[in-house]
A and B are shown apart, each in its own frame.
Chain A
């Protein structure tokens, strides 16, 4: 059993090294927009500018704290760096209906999608929420962070500035 596991892993590593140069790290998965339309994640982009993909859920306290903290400065961040935050909610059928009113009621300005069977979360290998990815204009993951403590949003902003600075 272990031998096969090892064999498969080796095959994958060898073959991936033969493959071409990495492009976007966003896998292609179908999720839904807040108004129920099917949306493919390969279409996530910010026209060459930095983009944040933030996995969250309405029942996850630190996730909501993080999104609240970022929303306080979001307008400034957008103006200065052109960054866009895409919030992917992993709320399932139990709390899915609350996502849209919740987002409106918090006064957030983000692009929100619903990944209600965690397909995108699985494809992005996210274990626990909150998990925040910072991607460059080509869709490559430049930084990421799991959990949230007050002050993390400042570190995130430093990374965004670095990214937009090197452009």
Chain B
């Protein structure tokens, strides 16, 4: 309460100062956006959808942003009364969860309040939001950016991270230096090769009240990065190191942590290829050593495998194992131009990719509390995830467009979900996506997907039809059918019927959905997300 009052006073004071100054060209604007997602839940014992006491659950937020020249301020109000099933119960509540004021002058810009920031690739620090899956680890504190010379960007942050409707007890502080050599060194200004280097240091403080263990109160992590761009060829690499950080995620071992990320890519008109290698060893870094699931993560360890969008290809989603993994992924994109033999009349686009991720080799150490030791180049024998994917996009005629895709996935259900008895899932997925343009405004799209596997719940089939009337209307109907399940009672249809109205920036959708259950396992703890059944509504807009 008091905090907000002083904050508002601060804003008002700045306004007074601003308007008493000489006239400066002003960019002033209030803008914002909001979203409301609600669902009515009906218990359904056949899919084990539980009884929801409130009957109606919803997530909603409103963002307001104010810009006036070099001054920006904003806030966000969020409401989860109660949070939709699948979202952490700790979200239950409502209030202002994000507010900031930012001012930039000459080479400095200062932000107070909540902010999002990333150092390099995020290996030791990334605060960001992914509203759709309930991730928000904004830092509440101060952020200072400083550009002392052309080509050098320095950043410093101090604060505590958001944890649902409160703040984590750990204090996070960090600094980052980003140097673009071509802007800094005048001789290099017009060089064909662009070079950049950067380094960051982040440390967290959390009091040790543990009666049994002797825990480090300050834990620091360093990272160094380098990137190079030579016209068509580019390279981006980053190395991170973290000192002992015993936490619930790594079972309280005192081993240090390391991560290496290396990407090489080549792009030219009509062709592009990229390959990424990654190694992670004990790099879970949170501002509270007892935090699990999606709480209080300080860093971001990106998965390198492809992010899929077609439904059945997301049945077995891989997520980075922060305690240790090592892998490589690559993808190539090719555009066969129109009127060439392979391109056909309208052109064809092809993409091929593959990835493989294993665990790291762990050797025992004499001192148990150190956990293990692992040679930097030693990859383990356990497969965590592998995939091969091919996608072809082709316009067959003036009215008909096809996207065809084949994906092969090897998914270690044990490791990612903590399940046993299913071991590795091998899945073959075929997808056909056809769009037929009836006339200028009407079009219809159909998708047929099939997943073939001999493990887990066995085969699935999925069909989708979407009818859209540009620019405002869209009607969708789809069904996922687990026809291959060994258990006859589980051969269920999970369907979704919805319609959406879009006008400019506003979109309203209404539908009925029957959704399958799932498990969410992050950081040593698994949470069961129950199946659900019922009407849903979603409204989003921006102003």
Contact = CB atoms under 8 A, between A and B. Distances in A.
Task: Please determine if A and B sit in direct contact within the complex, based on CB atoms under 8 angstroms apart.
Answer: yes
B15 A15 contact: yes
Contact of A105 (B23, B304, B334, B543): B334
Interface string A125-143: 1111001000000000001
A151 B63 contact: no
Interface string A10-21: 011101101110
Given A59-B307, A117-B117, A93 B300 contact: yes
Interface residues of B, number: 102
A146 B276 contact: no
A12 B126 contact: no
Interface in A24-48: 24-25, 27-28, 34-38
Contacts of B292: none
Nearest to A11: B12
B470 A151 contact: yes
B180 to A, nearest CB: 6
Interface stretch (B3-11, B200-208, B418-426, B517-525): B3-11
A117 B471 contact: no
B349 A106 contact: yes
Contacts of B303: 94
Contact of A107 (B227, B269, B443, B469): B269
A15 B64 CA distance: 14
B194 A37 contact: yes
Nearest to B469: A149
Contact of A94 (B104, B307, B349): B307
B453 interface: no
A125 B476 CA distance: 27
B5 A20 contact: no
B116 interface: yes
B121 interface: yes
B180 A37 contact: yes
B505 A4 contact: no
B33 A36 contact: no
A122 interface: yes
Contacts of B236: 36, 97
Nearest to B436: A150
A109 B131 CA distance: 31
A146 B64 CA distance: 19
Given A16-B66, A59-B307, A104-B267, A35 B194 contact: yes
A1 B96 contact: yes
A167 interface: no
Interface string B152-195: 01000000000000000000000000101011000000000010
B42 interface: no
B30 A12 contact: yes
B375 to A, nearest CB: 26
Interface in B100-153: 104, 116-118, 121-122, 126, 128-129, 153
Interface of B: 1, 4-5, 8, 11-12, 15, 19, 23, 25-33, 35, 63-68, 72-73, 75, 77, 95-96, 104, 116-118, 121-122, 126, 128-129, 153, 178, 180, 182-183, 194, 196, 227, 229, 234, 236, 263, 265-274, 276, 300, 302-304, 307-310, 331-335, 337, 347, 349, 351, 393, 435, 437, 440-443, 468-471, 474, 500, 502, 504-507, 540-543
Given A101-B272, A125-B543, A145-B502, 7 more contacts: A16-B28, A16-B68, A19-B28, A19-B68, A126-B542, A131-B505, A151-B468
